[in-house]
Amino acid sequence: MFNLINGAESNVKNDILSGTTVALALVPEAVAFAFVAGVEPMVGLYAAFMMGLLTAVFGGRPGMISGATGATAVVMISLVAEHGVQYLFAMVVLAGVLQITAGVCRLGKFIRMVPYPVMLGFVNGLAIVIFLAQMGQFMLRGADGEMHWLQGEMLYTMGILIAITMAIMHFLPKITQAVPAGLVAIIAVTLAVLGLDLEARTVIDFVRDMLPPEQAATATLKGELPSFAIPAVPFTWETLAIIFPYAAIIAAIGLIESLLTLSLIDEITDTRGNSNRECVGQGIANTVNGFFGGMGGCAMIGQSMININSGGRGRLSGITAAVVLLAFILFGAKYIEMIPLAALVGIMFMVVLGTFEWSSFRIIKKIPRSDALILILVSGVTVAFDLAIAVIVGVIVSALVFAWQHAKHINVVTYLDDQGYKVYELRGPIFFGSVANFKELFDPHNDPEHVVIEFQRSRVADHSALEAIDSLADKYRAQGKTLHLRHLSKDCVSLLRRAGDLVEVNLLEDPNYRVAVDHT
């Protein structure tokens, strides 16, 4: 529907301009997620700066943007509420260490196990989540202290400004790609609001609505450089017991979201990032966050898409976004505070349109029903719960579907060989899902004295398969008959021998498929 991806290659001008655009879009989300976690806005802004800078330098995916995210913020709520912000900082340090460990152990490669329907569901669900997250910008605090939806002139003004932003985002790249359309849209809409004196909500209005009334009047996004401090928590086993469950969840969520975003950008840009390096980069960024008063985070698909769409391809784009954000915090807070929310919402709406896989509506009737179900399931769980949970659910369901389908593919061809042995030529793997069907293929009561299972087109996959073979051998032994296994692959033979006394059968081996001999 929309061609949002700028095909330009990485260069200094594109990276700097796209990074500046991303920096402006980072502000309201970093502030919003700080409030979600129950910490001060500056904790979220510091996280956006440090996550963005360090992952741009050390991460495995140039052009990908990291910062404070909702996926990690929701996990922090109870920890902050029960134990305070210092425990949050200690937890983020531990989460970073766990992520670095995952990268050093090269666990990032397991992201390749995520099936394509899960990726589609992840992308679609995330697009919906980004869209729903913008709904909070259409609310303001009323005189009664409660949040209410915009109405009347303010609503119409915001709608028009959003439409103008989206129009600039869509049509400007067709005219020129010299500057990012998102940056032009933000500047144009801001100047229009100021020049025409329109009643439009700004970034500082959003921040003030999030704060208690007594703090709102003096609210500002101006801050200082983050400073080093060891989290003020007791260094005891009790503290570790408190923070470790949160750290493990944050580390897992952060890596899943980051590595899936990496895979998505790889596909969009036709390049390849380094998943293990990204694990280490995310870990370094989170560890530093904990020591410098940030709430940590992970990759942000929305801001990453803004960056890619604006022409940002190199590490300089992420570095620029982080440095510009810090510069605004230190010296230019008043300029960020006057940006209309409508401009940022319009950009995010275009991200939604570009992120959602509209082709899924076309292909959903053409792909297997199980894949269609997984796609819809992952999208729904993403919206209802969490991105990481959705991906885990999708992978588990995909694995179960795979196991079910392959369990039905096991069968045999039987015949008597020259020695009068009955041969069961097995086809299909024996594993936990197929053992029931495997057992039904044999007839110990009516078979001759010697029975051979031919494994040339099959393999033993797991302990369930070993138990099934041992049980079958017992049935033949009870009938005074002998069960032989022939042409097992080397890994299957190794598996059987490791089982030792668990499995008592005769192994027949014939590397040249001519002479079979018993192995004792």
Each domain of the chain, given as residue ranges in start order, spans 12-379, 411-519
pLDDT of residue 244: 95
pLDDT of residue 518: 43
CA angle 445, 449, 454 (to 5 degrees): 90
Half-sphere exposure of 378 (CA within 13 A, CB side): 28
pLDDT score, position 433: 86
For residue 492, how many C-alpha atoms fall within 13 Å in the half-sphere facing its CB? 22
How is residue 202 annotated by DSSP? B
Q: If we measure between CA atoms, which residue out of 283, 257, 309 comes closest to residue 99?
A: 283
CB proximity list for 343: less than 8 A, separation 6 or greater: 161, 165, 185, 186, 189, 190
Angle in degrees, CA 181, 53, 25, rounded to 5: 30
Q: Are 60 and 210 in contact (CB under 8 A)?
A: no
Q: Bridge partners of 152?
A: none
Positions in the chain whose pLDDT score sits under 70 = 1-10, 491, 495-520
Query: What distances in angstroms separate CA 352 from CA 252, 313, 349, one per listed residue?
Result: 25, 20, 5
Please report which helix (H) or strand (E) contains residue 413, including its range.
Answer: strand 411-416
* C-alpha span between 507 and 520 (Å, rounded): 8
CB 312 within 8 A of CB 18: yes
Q: Mapped to the 3 state alphabet, what secondary structure does 63-87 carry?
A: CCCEECCHHHHHHHHHHHHHHCHHH
Classified as helix, coil or strand, 423 is strand
Please report how many Cα atoms fall inside a 13 Å half-sphere around the Cα of residue 245, on the Cβ side: 6
Residue 293, Ramachandran bin (φ over 0: left; ψ between -120 and 50: alpha; else beta): left
Can you give the pLDDT at residue 147? 84
pLDDT for res 126: 80
Contact predicate 180/351, CB 8 Å: no
Q: What is the pLDDT, as a whole number, of residue 499? A: 56
CA nearest neighbour of 133 among 303, 262, 257: 303
List CB contacts of 7: < 8 A, sequence separation 6 or more. Answer: none
Distance CA 19, CA 319 (A): 7
How far apart CA 197 and CA 409 sit, in angstroms, is: 71
> What angle do helix axes 85-104 and 275-291 make, rounded to 10 degrees?
160
User: Looking up tokens 């031919």, which residue turns up?
Assistant: 454
State the architecture of 411-519 in CATH terms. Answer: 2-Layer Sandwich (3.30)
pLDDT of residue 20: 93
Separation of CA 304 from chain center: 13
Size of the chain, expressed as the number of residues it contains: 520
Q: Which residue in 22, 20, 46, 45 sits closest to 32, CA to CA? A: 45
CA nearest 410: which of 424, 395, 420? Answer: 424
- Total Cβ atoms within 10 A of residue 19: 28
User: Are residues 285 and 51 in contact, defined by beta-carbon separation less than 8 angstroms?
Assistant: yes
Using CA atoms, how far apart are residues 262 and 256, in angstroms rounded to an integer? 10
Alpha carbons 424 and 430: distance in angstroms, whole number: 14
Which residues lie across from 508 on neighbouring strands? 486, 518
Which amino acid does the sequence have at 344?
Answer: L
> Cα–Cα distance between 430 and 428 in angstroms, integer?
7
End-to-end CA distance of the chain: 67
- Give pLDDT, residue 9: 57
pLDDT score, position 5: 46
pLDDT for the residue numbered 292: 96
Beta-strand ranges (E) seen in 212-268 are none
Global pTM reads: 0.73
